Amino acid sequence: MPIRIVPDDTNINFFAAARITFGASVVAVIASIILFFTMGLNYGIDFTGGTSIRTEAEQPVDIGAYRDALSGLDLGDVTISEVFDPGFDDDQHVAQVRIQAQEGHESVSNETMGAVEAALKGVDPTLEFMAVDSVGGKVSGELIRTAVLAVVGAMAAILVYIWLRFEWQFSIGAVAALVHDVALTIGIFSLFQIKFDLAIIAALLTIVGYSINDTVVVFDRARENLRKFKTRPLIEVLNISANETLSRTVMTSGTTLVALIALLVLGGDVIRGFVFAITWGIVVGTYSSIYVAKNIVLMLGVKRDWDKPSTPTGGQFADVDA
């Protein structure tokens, strides 16, 4: 017998507290916007400028020891990560050290570079600087603009896609859910001043894709049920659709979260911000698919097409329990 986390006859009224859930989402989005403009984001080197150093040593990279050696130099934001490549020799250990731009300078000064090299050689005398690259303020500004355009462009493309596949009411609901997810993610990063870099932009785009996938599954079942239950009110049809796809939602989100939580706990500092962003995004994305997107569709209403047959007209897998 297959294990079912969600029973087949589940009948949860997701609209029982619609005003509270939707109102809480509106308040959370407004609070996130306020946090962004008042506290701002803790931008990483990608957006503030700085210097990237590629090191090579004969001994294995000890990120903790490297970080401790540099902690007394008052360098501000320092990111250290080990670089892996199948082509490296057994005694070839490479690390990437990224240091934020110092006040009044677009890159790290020669004196500071000397102090950094001396500190790291104190940990491993075989260490050498193989490459040093600087990111100036102009490049950082371009990265910010490109990142914003990437997120906005993805959401605009999704708006058009949902509009063409479903109805305009569904597209508004889907994009509202995406705005909700991105805003809340930016808000929590602003609240806790977690470092915000290009990896987090990648996480935001991942969140957008994951959230819209969950929303489309619910909307696709709702479209089928709108043709199947023509006399039932829209609120009932949306509830039925959410309950029918609940098993799929719980299984998909649950298994993904298990892997993400393991990475969050055991993955280390290098990927922790990225993993946290995706973990948070999946939680709010699952919530918004049910309590934001469907609420928008319910408020806007959907015109029924009475000329279509009263049986589900989805694909051959329309009746398969996801």
Distance CA 44, CA 100 (A): 8
pLDDT digits (tens, 9 = 90+) for 221-255: 888 888 888 788 888 888 988 888 888 888 888 88
What does the alpha-carbon distance between residue 125 and residue 84 come to, in Å, rounded to a whole number? 21
Residue 11 burial by CB count (10 A; 0-12/13-18/19+): exposed, middle or buried?
A: exposed
> Which stretches in the chain have pLDDT values below 50?
306, 310-322
- What is residue 103's predicted lDDT score, i.e. its pLDDT? 65
Q: Which of 54, 53, 50, 46 is nearest to 107 (CA)?
A: 50
Tokens found for residue 183: 């805003």
Sign of the alpha-carbon torsion through 18, 21, 27, 30: negative
pLDDT at residue 33 in the model: 95
For residue 316, the model assigns a pLDDT of 43
Interacting residues of 116 by C-beta distance below 8 A, sequence separation 6+? 53, 70, 73, 75, 97, 99, 108
Tell me what pLDDT residue 183 has. Answer: 93
Question: CA neighbours within 13 Å on the CB side: how many for 282?
Answer: 18
Indicate the pTM of the whole model. Answer: 0.75
**pLDDT score for 180:** 93
What is the reported pLDDT for 315?
47
What is the reported pLDDT for 304? 65
Pairing of strands 195-196, 42-43: parallel
Query: For residue 318, what pLDDT is reported?
Result: 42
What pLDDT is attached to residue 309? Answer: 53
Domains and CATH numbers, the chain: 18-41+139-300 (1.20.1640.10), 50-135 (3.30.70.3220)
Identify residue 305 by its one-letter amino acid code.
D
